[in-house]
Structure 1
Amino acid sequence: MNEDPVGTERAGSARLFHLNGELVPAAEATVSVQDRGFKYGDAAFETLRTYGGDVFAWEAHADRLATTCELLELDHGIPSERLHGRIQETLDANGLEDASLRLSISRGVQPGSLDPHPEMDPTVVISVEPLPRGGIGGDAVWEKPATLSTVQTRRVPNTAIPAEARTHNYLNGILARLELRGSDADEALMLDAQGRVAQGATGNVFAVDGEGLLTPALSGPVRPGITRSTVIDLAAEEGIPVREATIQPKTFREAKEVFCTNSTWEVRPVDEVDGASLDTGPVTELLAHRFRERVESAFY
């Protein structure tokens, strides 16, 4: 008899993880201390959001994951269709339709040398956490607009670690968030080595000025966010000019509107940048609404 039918969400302690092709309880979802993802951060990952039981922009996420694996020369050999199938199995097993999902692939356990071996038995982990329903009838995952503070921790240059490589080495963002402790800010505004705006610790940033929408160009150490790309497309559909450029921090402090994007937040307005107060203006509201409309029409 099925004691946990699909549609009944499992509690956190009973949640199932997809580990190397098998669904396992949380208490058994462990990896070796010799795994290169644990030892060196030698692993690729994607954070995805699911609506109504399916992944938002799966093909774009799969392409970005493939790019990271190519940069790492991590040839895991698992087709994207099979990865998507494992995601569906994880959602179904946990009785979830609306969730935040993380897919991680490491090079697995190898001898203690820093040099990776071409032969590998990859470690593949899929974990899920429930989120509110998305779309027009849904609720935001954030309780209030974001407050940004410019931090001293700079983004790693592309010549050191390419921004498009999403790896387990997230120390750069962690250090940025640590700087916020003791302040009212809940997101870091990170700069590049030349002092220009790059992104937040966990996503992309946009400003609205008298000419339209402005966001840091991907030529800098800027993560190519899936939500970022979607918002740019939505702005184009609405006839809102979009400029991708090198931007000074002052521009964000003096902007008419500012908002952040990532897969979990979607479009999150900003009410303060470095002490300068901002309102949630019409452009942010329009793009957030259009994003929810796209989710509603595609998944519900």
Structure 2
Amino acid sequence: MKYYVDGDLVPAADATVSVRDRGFMYGDAAFETLRAYGGACFAWDAHEQRLRRTAETLGFADAVPDDLRTAVRETLDANDLAEAYVRLSVTRGVQPGKLTPDPEVDPTVVVVVTSLPRGGIDGDPVWDGPAVLQTVGTRRIPDAAVPADAKTHNYLNGILARLELRRAATDDYSADEAIVRDTDGRVTEGATSNLFFVADDALHTPAADLPLLPGVTRSVVLELAREEGIPVETGRYDVDDVRDAGEAFLTNSTWEVRPVATVDGIDVGGGPVTDLLARLYDERVERRHYAGGPDPGNRDQ
């Protein structure tokens, strides 16, 4: 496997950054996780725009290169990958070891790829089965402290949530994803996913003005639901709202739409709305990246 590091495609074992890179030292970097289907990234524009917004929050938007899409394509081509997980990172680069960043930025760009199954109608999910969810004590960092919509290398919030799951695991029970709440006890998201549930004949998901990262897949699913005429409500919810739901599912770029099996040991399951939205998502991927889609050079949409 070869990774992209600042313009060079190097063997994975040799792909390194400086120990003085601020992405390594402070988490001072923006990144995106994307899914490539048929050789091109799904919803490229939305991912690139969010990465640039994160860089703007961090104060180095003007230094983000214009050729990020080319870097990703070169990495996929170098590994002969059409179906892949893609992680694109842009750090503030190497600077003196002090907390205050220098105004001059020479960014570090890294692209990491991993093979995944085909997506779309004839594809296979990357997950083994419906997700087991567990509410954790770790709370989402307030937006006033660290902007929730900035997708940076500092993922300690999610790491601590996942460590709680590991400590709670037994031979008979192991959760796949955490439900993370804000400091007021309201449900926000998973450690690496957005949460949806069905109740009172509507699709619900925590509102984007809560301290959560509104995912690209979340946005696609909301669009598909509205196009299909499914009532959609965003709001503030307690864990009991999710536990009592008729069905629930998670979204992110890699999992796509993943049904939920249980929440804190309570059966919830998927259902017709989950199945419908998963099918509609697969159909969109199929149209855009496989049979009937645009030319390969224009699939990143």
> By the TM > 0.5 criterion, same fold?
yes
Retained in 2: the 8 A contact 1:215–1:243?
Answer: yes
Give the conservation status (yes or no) of the 8 Å contact 2:52–2:64: no
Q: Is the 8 A contact 1:76 1:107 kept in 2?
A: no
C-alpha displacement at 1:25, in angstroms?
1.0
2:229 to 230, 236, 239: 239
Aligned residue runs from structure 1 range 1-300, under 5 A = 15-75=1-61, 77-80=63-66, 82-181=67-166, 182=169, 183-300=173-290
Q: Secondary structure at the match of 1:235?
A: helix
Q: Is the 8 A contact 2:83 2:115 kept in 1?
A: yes
- Would the alpha carbon gap of residues 28 and 102 (structure 1) be closer, same or farther in structure 2, given more than 3 Å must change? same
Inter-partner Cα distance in structure 1 for 2:62 and 2:78: 24
Q: What's the CA shift for 1:27? A: 2.0
Q: Secondary structure at the match of 1:153?
A: strand
Tell me if structure 2 keeps the 8 A contact 1:16–1:23. yes
Separation in 2 of the partners of 1:143 and 1:159?
37
Mapped to 1, the partners of 2:50 and 2:83 lie a distance apart of 22
Pairwise CA distance, 1:28:
1.7
For 1:128 and 1:179, the matched residues in 2 are separated by 28
The offset of 1:79, in angstroms, is 4.2
CA contact (8 A) 2:180 2:187 kept: yes
Rounded Cα–Cα distance in structure 2 between residues aligned with 1:86 and 1:167: 19
What is the letter of the counterpart of residue 165 of structure 2? L
1:233 CA drift (Å): 0.4
Structure 1 residue 109 displacement after superposition: 1.0
The answer to whether the Cα contact below 8 Å between 2:54 and 2:149 also exists between their aligned partners in 1 is yes
Query: Residue by residue, what CA displacement relative to the aligned partner does 1:116-150 show, whole Å, maximum 9, x if unpaired?
Result: 00112211100000100000000000011000000
Q: SS where residue 221 of structure 2 aligns?
A: helix
The amino acid that maps onto 1:290 is: L
Contact 2:133/2:177 (CA < 8 Å) preserved in 1? yes
Return 5+ residue gaps in structure 1 as ranges.
1-14
Give the Cα–Cα distance (whole angstroms) in 2 for the partners of residues 299 and 178 of structure 1: 36
- Normalised by the length of structure 2, the TM-score is 0.93
The count of residues paired between Structure 1 and Structure 2 equals: 285
SS in 1 for 2:184: coil
- Root-mean-square deviation (CA, aligned residues, Å) is 0.9
**TM superposition shift of 1:22:** 1.1
Q: Distance in 1 between matches of 2:257 and 2:284?
A: 13
Q: Distance in 1 between matches of 2:269 and 2:187?
A: 20
Structure 1 runs (4+) deviating above 4 angstroms are none
**What's the TM-score, normalizing by structure 1?**
0.93
Q: SS state of the match for residue 179, structure 1?
A: helix
Q: Which runs of 5+ in 2 are unaligned?
A: 291-301
Deviations 1:165-184 (A, max 9, x none): 00110010000001011242
User: What whole-Å deviation, never above 9, does each CA across 1:15-71 have from its counterpart, x for those lacking one?
Assistant: 111100111111221011111111111111000011000010000001100110000
